[in-house]
Amino acid sequence: MRILSILALSLLMFAIGHAQSSQKRLGDFLKAFNSKDDATIRTMMDANFDPSIYARRKPEEWSAQLKQFATDLAPLAIREILLDKETAIVAAVLTASGEKMGLRLDLAKEAPHRIVGLRFSGNVQGLVEERKKVEIRDYKDLSDLARQVRNGYKVPAIAIAVFQGGKLETAVDGLREVGKSDPVTVNDRWLVGSIGKSMTSTLIGRLIDEGKLDWNSKLGDLLKDVPMLPEYRDVKLEQIMQHRGGMPQDLNFEGQTVDRIVGRLADPTAIRAAYVKDILSRKPIAKPGEKFAYSNAGYAILGHIAERVTGKPFEILLKEYVFNPIGMDSAIAGLPGTDGQPSGRGEPHGHIPTADGYEPHVLDGPLNYMGAPAGLGVSCSIGDLAKYVAWHMRGYLGEPIELKTETVRRLHTQMADKGQYAAGWVIGDGFQGHNGSDGTFVAEIAFWPKERFAAAAIVNCGGAENPSPPMQAILAVYKKLFGK
């Protein structure tokens, strides 16, 4: 139910004489967002965004993502202001379909307090928590580092693994579930989130090596019997892998949308087929290759294409083409827990932030099947995740692995405009990596080819820190080893 129109929002923001800059930024943002208009959104950005925000994403990428979010969610109506400070404002909002979400705007400390960050989340309380950075003291060993990060950020548990000099080292600290006594172990599975995108791109790379697919394969040829809008027919496989296929982003899912797509289907492959059909019935957000737009939907299409050309379910393909060759014995396309069932059966449980800390939470259901190729519901031990990163690093360095060297290089190379994203990997300054989260776990991976150093870290809770606690742990190890 739409309980506030744009006009009513304006009255709420200004008629009561609230002159705080945070409130004004929120009002400007929501008025533009609810318009769903490209020019209006861009004008708002020019007036309200701090230039520093463009160091992470180009203006056109910000506007494209906001337009996509607006298409999915607007008009947003304010339900409650949860935090109102000079440097941040958090509002609980209702989407067009009546779903409750949180919106946070972070503002610069210096006047005129322009927007330096914004986040949407279904975990409203998590957005209220302040960003924080824990100073890590010189640690004795990896176990000591795990304790420092866990205690500093007060997370339920953390797992860290590093690969250096041909040696794998792991450490864990904390509880599988708050309120219970079971400690995490190095053999436990953890949810890796969107890191699974790099695994899907690895699967596609192996199918390319086998001649079952080609980098330039087009959707119209790969999915001949699937109804799709004409704009999608010439989208190439590599464009989808690099988030440049113009696909809807599907960064947020509402329950009624999932129910509409899935219906009474129970088979994972059939669910993904229904999802792909739905994606391709919606207007693209850009022309093929025109711009970068991070897309869960695109990777869902990649996973279903792999199913179609092999005749095997995605869950089996990941095991045969990715997990088994690397020796990732713990890895599954499923949630942590025995046979991929929800947490609480002897492995780490996901958690969401609350006003008092964290509470256990499981995001279970058909959405995990829909988004499995995008990383939803892919789990493994921390050691196996580090093995995976090291395997890619060795291939990138030209060592023999189950992928051809030219294929590995192409997976790890951006397109001509030198954006930060390759095919399932984010390209940083001297390193590559990816992160992942479903709001109940946060995972990070990275490797530095020059130093031949690879690492992975995960916490079993959602959060808004940037860098995240897992990345803070990885960077602490890198700094200690290499003094950088």
Measured at the CA of 85, the angle between CA 82 and CA 87, to 5 degrees, comes to 120
Quote the pLDDT of residue 18.
32
pLDDT band at 3 (very low <50, low <70, confident <90, very high): very low
The fold adopted by the segment(s) 6-128 is: Nuclear Transport Factor 2; Chain: A, (3.10.450)
Q: What is the DSSP letter of 140?
A: S
Residue that wins the pLDDT comparison between 438 and 463 = 438
> 25, 30, 3: which is closest to 84 by C-alpha?
25
| Highest averaged pLDDT of the listed ranges 7-21, 92-106, 410-424, 428-442 | 428-442
Helix axes 268-279, 296-310, angle to 10 degrees: 130
What's the whole-number mean pLDDT along residues 279-308?
A: 94
What's the pLDDT score for residue 14?
A: 29
- Write down the pLDDT at residue 419: 67
Mean pLDDT of the 54-58 span:
71
Q: Which residue has the higher pLDDT, 121 or 149?
A: 149
Provide CB contacts within 8 A for 222, sequence distance 6+: 213, 237, 305, 308, 309
Element housing 437 (H / E): strand 432-437
Tokens of 17: 């004489």
Give the pLDDT score at 354: 78
pLDDT, one tens digit per residue, over 157-201 is 999 999 999 999 999 999 999 999 999 999 999 999 999 999 999
Per-residue pLDDT tens for 295-340? 999 999 999 999 999 999 999 999 999 999 999 999 999 888 745 4
pLDDT at 189: 94
Q: Tokens 């095997």 — which residue? A: 312
Quick check: 386 and 396 in contact, CB under 8 A? no
pLDDT > 70 in the chain, percent: 90
Tokens of 401: 């692995």
Q: Give the bridge partners for 167, in sequence order.
A: 164
Q: Give the C-alpha separation, 479 to 458, whole Å.
A: 19
Average pLDDT, the chain: 87
Share of the chain above pLDDT 90, in %: 59
pTM of the model: 0.82
State pLDDT tens for residues 379-437: 999 999 999 999 999 999 999 999 999 999 999 998 766 568 899 999 988 999 999 99
Mean of pLDDT values over 133-151: 91
Residue holding tokens 């899935």?
262
The reported pLDDT for the residue numbered 66 is 86
How sure is the predictor about 131, in pLDDT bands with cuts at 50, 70 and 90?
low
User: What pLDDT, on a 0 to 100 scale, did the predictor assign at position 107?
Assistant: 87
Nearest to 161 by CA among 10, 385, 421: 385
Collapse the DSSP code of 117 into the 3-class scheme (helix H, G, I; strand E, B; otherwise coil) and give the result. Answer: strand
Task: Read off the pLDDT of residues 368-387 as tens digits, 9 standing for 90 and up.
Answer: 999 999 998 899 999 999 99
According to the model, what pLDDT value does residue 222 have? 97
Residue 482's pLDDT band (cuts 50, 70, 90)? very high
DSSP 450-471: TTTEEEEEEESS----SS-HHH
Q: Is 212 exposed, middle or buried, given 0-12, 13-18 or 19+ CB atoms closer than 10 A?
A: middle
Taking residues 74-79, what's their average pLDDT? 90
Per-residue pLDDT band for 464 (boundaries 50, 70, 90) equals: low
The CATH H-level (homologous superfamily) assignment of domain 142-197+324-482 is DD-peptidase/beta-lactamase superfamily (3.40.710.10)
Model confidence pLDDT, tens digit, residues 232-248: 999 999 999 999 999 99
Predicted pLDDT of residue 95: 86
Annotated domain spans of the chain: 6-128, 142-197+324-482, 214-314
So what's the pLDDT on residue 151?
93
At residue 24 the predicted structure's pLDDT band, cuts being 50, 70 and 90, is confident
- Is the pLDDT confidence value at 457 over 70? yes
Which of 33-47, 68-82, 391-405, 410-424 shows the highest mean pLDDT? Answer: 391-405
Q: Which pLDDT value is given to residue 67?
A: 83
Q: Which helix (H) or strand (E) holds 309?
A: helix 296-310
Predicted local distance difference test score (pLDDT) of residue 133: 67
pLDDT digits (tens, 9 = 90+) for 253-271: 777 889 999 999 999 999 9
Nearest CA to 369 among 276, 464, 239, 476?
Answer: 276
User: HSE (CB half, 13 Å, CA atoms) of 6?
Assistant: 11
Cα 170 from Cα 386, distance rounded (Å): 9
Are 162 and 446 in contact, with CB atoms under 8 Å apart? Answer: no
Classified by CATH at the fold level, domain 214-314 comes out as Methane Monooxygenase Hydroxylase; Chain G, domain 1 (1.20.58)
Q: For the chain, how big is the Rg over CA atoms in Å?
A: 22
Q: What angle do CA 119, 298, 392 make, to 5 degrees?
A: 90
Tokens of 86: 């000079």
Residue 195: the pLDDT is 97
